[in-house]
Structure 1
Amino acid sequence: MTGGTRDDTADIEPRQLQQLMLRVAAEDSSALAELYKRTSGRLFGICVSMLRSESDAEDVLQDVYTSVWRRARQYDPAKAGVLNWMAVIARNRSIDQLRGRRASAPIDEAGEVADDAPSAFDLVEAADDRRRLAGCLEELDETPRRAIRTAFFEGLSYAELASREAVPLGTMKSWIRRGLLRLRGCLDR
């Protein structure tokens, strides 16, 4: 605990905390002092457990009560109890403090992070490949083009395609095989 404060949350009812918060919202500084007296021990514990530093926790705790003073009018008893609302503020301020610590580390200490996203070159190359494939597909006759698109883009089997087109299975396989050979020849140019 900081500076001789004590945690009186065990002997205060939530209704009393709400009354104090209403007074803080009305800019009653004595209510803020009483709220601090009754809740600072618990909030300090939250800050210390997250920050692992009493001096950092004291700094954050001061920010918490400054924030409570400024935001007391925003407190809604229907959404959370006073102590829970203040605990969320303490937690968020502690996280902000931790982020600040990380941001201040030298860049040399940062590990390399792999970027799994495709490079701009890969994206342009893939787009070019799609354009070439679409152009080559257009060079095919309508029947093999439709069969290839349906097989590869809709995932139908040769048997399903043959049934759909009302042709023998061997005919469907021939259409697709010849169409794929023409596509390969077109793409190799």
Structure 2
Amino acid sequence: MSLEAIEQQIARVATGDRLAFGALYSQTSAKLFGIALRVLKDRAEAEEVLQEVYVKVWHNANRYRANGLSPMTWLITIARNTAIDRARKRRESQAGLDAAEAMADPTPGPEALAVQSSEREKLAGCFGELEEGRADAVRRAYLEGETYAELATSFDVPLNTMRTWLRRSLMKLKECLTR
């Protein structure tokens, strides 16, 4: 389509001609989408920007004046500026989230502390139900990071016995915690 034809379609769009708008869209949308995609590097956002561009064209077609500039230059400018505005908003909102995350207090709130306290009490009670020495072995293995071999030596039992103790103790803890 020639630039003169695009200029005529813009003039017809200014009068509310939907057919001219459809023709303008079909002739120029691929180019404008490419521009938005190049700026945003995200297909979904580029599609949204393209929609915004054509809404702007529909509402502002009467502002386009034949002044020797290409009608494509006018359309490309709208697309490019809309895409740049979207990219800036994205950066600002991400910066705002980063700042909010940086400002957020990482310590648990009163509700979380109450839940933790309740869970800690329940866990302590469940540890009390384990056979003598087993609770200490579980703590040392899973909280202090001792290996099965180190625990077997410390408790003076064979390695497979230590594994069995720990597995059975964990099953008992799980059962206790689900009651």
TM-score (norm 1): 0.50
Name the structure 2 match of 1:58: 47
SS at match of 1:27: coil
CA separation of 1:17 and 1:106: change in aligned 2, threshold 3 A: closer
TM-score (norm 2): 0.53
1:93 is the counterpart of 2:98: no
CA separation of 1:24 and 1:105: change in aligned 2, threshold 3 A: same
The residue type equivalent to 1:76 in the other structure is: R
Structure 1 runs (4+) deviating above 2 angstroms are: 106-110
What fraction of aligned residue pairs are identical, expressed as a percent?
Answer: 38
How far off is 1:88 after superposition? 0.2
Name the structure 2 match of 1:34: 23
How far off is 1:80 after superposition? 2.0
Spell out, residue by residue over 1:135-163, the C-alpha distance to the aligned partner (whole angstroms, 9 max, x if none).
xxxxxxxxxxxxxxxxxxxxxxxxxxxxx
Q: What is the distance in 1 between the residues matched to 2:79 and 2:95?
A: 27
Higher helix share: 2
Q: 1:165-180 to 2 correspondence within 5 Å? A: none
Name the structure 2 match of 1:71: 60
Unaligned stretches of 5+ residues in structure 1: 1-11, 111-189
Q: What is the distance in 1 between the residues matched to 2:7 and 2:97?
A: 49
Q: What is the distance in 2 between the residues matched to 1:18 and 1:82?
A: 6
CA separation of 1:107 and 1:35: change in aligned 2, threshold 3 A: closer
How many residue pairs align between the two structures? 99
Unaligned stretches of 5+ residues in structure 2: 100-179
